[in-house]
Amino acid sequence: MTEIREAALVLRDGTLFEGEAVGAQPEAGFSTGEVVFNTVMTGYQEVITDPSYAGQIITFTYPHIGNYGVNSVDTESRGSFCRGVIMRDPARRASNYRSEGEFSDYLISQGIAGIAGMDTRRLTRHIRDLGAMPGAFGTADESTLRDAALAEPGTDGIDLVQTVTCDARYTVESDGPRRIVAMDFGIKTSILTQLKRLGTVDVVPAGTSAADIMSLRPDGVFLSNGPGDPEPLEHVRSTIDSLLGNVPIFGICLGHQLLAGALGAKTFKLPFGHHGGNQPVQRLRDGKVEITSQNHNFAVEQDSLVNAELTHVNLNDNTVQGLRSTTVPAFSVQYHPEAGPGPHDSRYLFDDFEDLMETFSVESANA
């Protein structure tokens, strides 16, 4: 019989939640990070391997996690960068024809600490009322956890991209006609799968210069998703600024925020972010509503948009979900059209990127 290890979560405001330790055991006896919640009902493996969760502890609002196991296909990056997971009821055994292992074993192999048996409904309501905040969980005593939660800086003002970007350029080969350079701020495997439909993808570190990017002779540049606050990434905005007008650009999530910043817009932090696979977004050109996958804590200020038009809005809170430059070939969306996990309503945006590259190519040839 597995030994039950009592554990607790303490938030920065002192609120205490009790549960049981699962997954890897941290050497210090606790893990810290910014506590957020995700509302997906499936896709837990994709969620915990999404680099955009660097610096955060993920609360799953769906009560049963791990019921269909894990496999080698659904991993979204080279590892996991989240600080931990919080669950109500982890499955005791997996049941699915695609399963290659148990979720509990996967947490240990990835070095991810977790806490289960939690009142995730109470925790989610607390975060909705007071906003995402730092916390600490583990088997350490309450006093130690409280001190650790107070010492945790969260994600504001911190460059987390440097912790997830690739160390060197690598290439994803394709039979497609295009060559795309993807700036890696924490890029997901499912995004590369969609880009590969269009052409060969050169994935470059976040610090790559505009000159080095253009030396690869790309038909287009993709700005990837990634974790944390876009504000400290001035060097990336400067690179994007140098690329604007010279090559078509498409950005997703953090890439969207950085493109907006390069165009002169500002960003702000949402109270508890958007994390889930069921966010309604309206496409303004025709009023169509898309159900989207989202994972971000920051958003673009609509009133600050410069040389750009609003293309998509979130119907829950009217935040900016998409923009298109009015002066150069560039557009972006806040949500995840690759949807890993999530609905596929928005995958047409990759085709829009292909159309933008084709138009730019024709216009350049005729110039």
Q: What are phi and psi of 210, to 5 degrees?
A: -60, -40
Whether pTM > 0.85 for this model: the answer is yes
**326, amino acid identity:** T
Q: Which two tokens stand for residue 267?
A: 């960003």
pLDDT in tens, 95-110: 999 999 999 999 999 9
**pLDDT at residue 1 is higher than 50:** no
Above pLDDT 70, what percent of the chain?
Answer: 99
C-beta separation of 31 from 151 below 8 A: no
**pLDDT at residue 2 is higher than 80:** no
To which residue do tokens 């949807």 refer? 339
pLDDT-derived band at 149 (thresholds 50, 70, 90) equals very high
Name the helix (H) or strand (E) containing 272.
strand 267-283
Nearest residue to 21 (alpha-carbon basis) of 101, 100, 107: 107
C-beta separation of 105 from 23 below 8 A: no
CA distance readout (Å), 139 to 1, 19, 116: 19, 10, 12
What span, in angstroms and rounded, lies between the C-alpha atoms of 201 and 189? 12
Name the least confident of 82-86, 92-96, 247-251: 92-96
Mean local confidence (pLDDT), 24-30: 94
CA distance readout (Å), 12 to 81, 281, 333, 360: 21, 32, 32, 50
Mean local confidence (pLDDT), 43-71: 97
How many of the other CB atoms lie within 10 Å of CB of 111?
12
Q: What domains appear along the chain, each with residue ranges and CATH number?
A: 6-151 (3.50.30.20), 161-366 (3.40.50.880)
Please report the pLDDT score of residue 366 as a whole number: 82
Catalytic residues: 253, 336, 338
Please report the pLDDT score of residue 364 as a whole number: 85
pLDDT in tens, 342-360: 999 999 999 999 999 999 9
- SS3 at position 242: helix
What DSSP letter does each residue of 99-145 carry, written as one string? --B-HHHHHHHHT-EEEES--HHHHHHHHHHH--EEEEEESS-HHHH
To which residue do tokens 């969760």 refer? 53
Above pLDDT 90, what percent of the chain?
Answer: 97
Nearest residue to 341 (alpha-carbon basis) of 189, 142, 229, 181: 189
pLDDT in tens, 328-344: 999 999 999 999 999 99
